[in-house]
Amino acid sequence: MNRRHIGTVHSAKTYFRGPINGTRTTMGLHEEIAKRRTFAIISHPDAGKTTLTEKFLLYGGAIQTAGAVKSNKIRRGATSDFMEIERQRGISVSTSVMTFEYGGKLINLLDTPGHRDFAEDTYRTLTAVDSVVLVIDCVKGVEAQTERLMEVCRMRSTPVIVFINKLDLEGRDAFDLLDELEEKLSIKVRPMSWPIGIGATFQGVYDLYSKGLRLFDPGKTKVEQSSIQIDSIQDPQLDTQIGEDAAAQLREDIDLIEGVYDPLNIADYQAGRIAPVFFGSAFNNFGVKEVLDAFTGIAPPPGPRPTDQGEVAPDDTKFSGFVFKIHANLDPNHRDRIAFLRVCSGRFQRNTYYHHVRLEKQLRFATPTNFLAAAKTIVDEAWPGDVIGLFDTGNFKIGDTLTEGAKFQFRGIPAFSPEMFRELVNMDPMKTKQLDKGIRQLTDEGVAQLFTQQPGNKKIVGCVGELQFEVIAYRLEHEYGAKCAFQAIPAHKACWMTSTDQAQLDQFIRMKAQQIVQDKDGNAVFMAPSAYMLDLEKRNNPAITFHTTSEFKTAVAEA
């Protein structure tokens, strides 16, 4: 790792506490940037992503006892799954943000939803991180959602570390898994640890870098402190520890690895061209330390971010950041609304006025927070790479930019067209105000889109998957006291419209009034009843461009 990135290590206590005395020097900014690592954990559902998150927090000393996910039920609530419905279903449906210190680095960890119905939240989260850890189930291998997530990573050349999980179960051959990773994810891999057996014969992992041997102790609940150091793969101690047959197989495997796979080039990893691979069992707290040690050693510090006026470097002394997530009722007792902001440059300070670029207004934040899932701590300052929560009274939308006065906008916050549409039906007319407030706040979070149809003020919710409707109904009832139902409607695609001929666009809107709805910003949207009808309207109205992204004002016209 380049020495110029290694800065002075400050304690987490100093970071979370300290009064600000004087102005930080540029060198101080460089040091703060160098010690930060911001990453997301991504995976297919049930691969063990949230469990791995818990183990990282254990090693970082942020928690003392991890939650356990088993048979799709949470026996002890996982720290990162703070919503009640997540604890009931045993899945993550919302990105959680956690900050802890490990190995002299301040780590911002984002645990993302694995379920495809909540993929939008994960895609947006990937815009706010500098690297990812991808969790693969050794039994199931690479699954469809994993491939989609990796496509987003490749688009941004995001560095990836792979953790192949559940080695204590009867899974697939390790070499076969590596081949599948390269074939399906279109990325070169380099094993950094290697399993000794699998399932019933699983004895542990051999660290190819440190030459350490870590033996498996199923059911271990505390963090392992050390591994057995051996001089080389030929060390006789290896035979003593794991048996002659297993040692012989391990030596054969290592010879093959060294002959087939190129050594890890850190520059290639940081450019997203090669992925280090580790093996273990997150549930049994095994093989996790190797991943965390490697991550803190080779993962890149915060990098530049694209804007509509060029890239902004993290060591730019002027503060800037963007909102990539909004969450209502993070604390149900206070009915709060939190905007998650990624700091991109300079230093963020509490009680300082910043420029909201879209609204062209100044905002000041008295209680910016960092997170350990639902637990919040007020911070006085934050630096590039940090993710902080800003109390929001309704000023923010996803993608909004804050600066010290500059008027650029950060780019790359994806918007997605809904794939399913349902009419929101109020089951209790006495709770109409609560329902209206609730659905607007929840759709502000970005997991669904809200459309209104006149006459009648009919509300239509668009989602990626069926489970989103279930979550929205649950949260409306339990957080706002409003019961609802969702009724299917004949809709294929929501299309925003632009045209160089305003008169023709106005005429189309009048002629198709029964299929025109308004989005939350008051833009007219054509709700195409079928793919055939959408294609027909495109042919009949060549002067009108139909967009399948809500960011149509800056989007390239889509076919």
Tell me the whole-structure pTM to 2 decimals.
0.74
Whether residue 153 is found in the same domain as residue 293: yes
| 255 occurs within a structural domain | yes
Whether residue 260 is found in the same domain as residue 181: yes
Domain end position, chosen among 249, 264, 298? 298
| 322 occurs within a structural domain | yes
| 317 occurs within a structural domain | yes
Q: In 278-298, which positions are buried (b, 16+ CB within 10 angstroms) versus exposed (e)? A: bbbbbbbbbbbbbbbbbbbeb
| 9 occurs within a structural domain | no
- Report which of 165, 278, 164, 280 is spatially closest to residue 215, judged by C-alpha positions: 280
pLDDT value for 33: 95
User: Which residue ranges of the chain lie beneath pLDDT 70?
Assistant: 1-27, 64-96, 113-121, 218-227, 328-336, 372-375, 412, 414-417, 447, 550-559
The pairing of strands 193-196 and 204-207 is antiparallel
- Report which of 80, 95, 170 is spatially closest to residue 387, judged by C-alpha positions: 95
**How many domains does the chain contain in total?**
3
- Give the list of residues 6+ apart from residue 32 with CB closer than 8 angstroms, or none: 7, 10, 24, 347, 383, 384
- Report which of 18, 11, 205, 160 is spatially closest to residue 100, judged by C-alpha positions: 11
- CATH code at position 220: 3.40.50.300
**Cβ proximity of 296 and 105 under 8 Å:** yes
CA 38/CA 305 separation, integer angstroms: 14
Domain end position, chosen among 403, 432, 466? 403
pLDDT value for 3: 32
The boundaries of the domain holding residue 332 are 305-403
Q: Strand, helix or coil at 549?
A: coil
CA 188/CA 154 separation, integer angstroms: 12
Whether residue 294 is found in the same domain as residue 311: no
pLDDT value for 69: 32
Amino acid at 85: I
CA 439/CA 73 separation, integer angstroms: 28
| 13 occurs within a structural domain | no
| 2 occurs within a structural domain | no
- CATH code at position 499: 3.30.70.3280
pLDDT value for 328: 65
Whether residue 44 is found in the same domain as residue 190: yes
Alpha-carbon distances, residue 88 vs 77, 122, 282, 471 (angstroms): 9, 21, 21, 11
Whether residue 394 is found in the same domain as residue 262: no
Whether residue 66 is found in the same domain as residue 196: yes
CA 497/CA 553 separation, integer angstroms: 10
Whether residue 274 is found in the same domain as residue 323: no
Tokens matching residue 267: 């520059």
Whether residue 290 is found in the same domain as residue 309: no
Whether residue 317 is found in the same domain as residue 427: no
Torsion of CA 26, 13, 375, 220, to 10 degrees: 120
Whether residue 293 is found in the same domain as residue 310: no
- Burial label for 456, CB within 10 Å (0-12, 13-18, 19+), is exposed
CA 436/CA 128 separation, integer angstroms: 30
Most distant CA pair in the chain: distance in Å? 84
Domain end position, chosen among 298, 333, 353? 298
Q: Strand, helix or coil at 492?
A: coil
Write out pLDDT tens, residues 279-309.
999 988 888 888 999 999 999 999 999 998 9
| 497 occurs within a structural domain | yes
Beta bridge partners of 499: 544
- CATH code at position 377: 2.40.30.10
Whether residue 47 is found in the same domain as residue 122: yes
CA angle 55, 59, 60 (to 5 degrees): 115
Whether residue 324 is found in the same domain as residue 442: no
Q: Rounded to 5 degrees, what are φ and ψ at 557?
A: -55, 130
pLDDT value for 215: 87
- Give the list of residues 6+ apart from residue 190 with CB closer than 8 angstroms, or none: 261, 262, 263, 264, 274, 275, 276, 277
| 240 occurs within a structural domain | yes
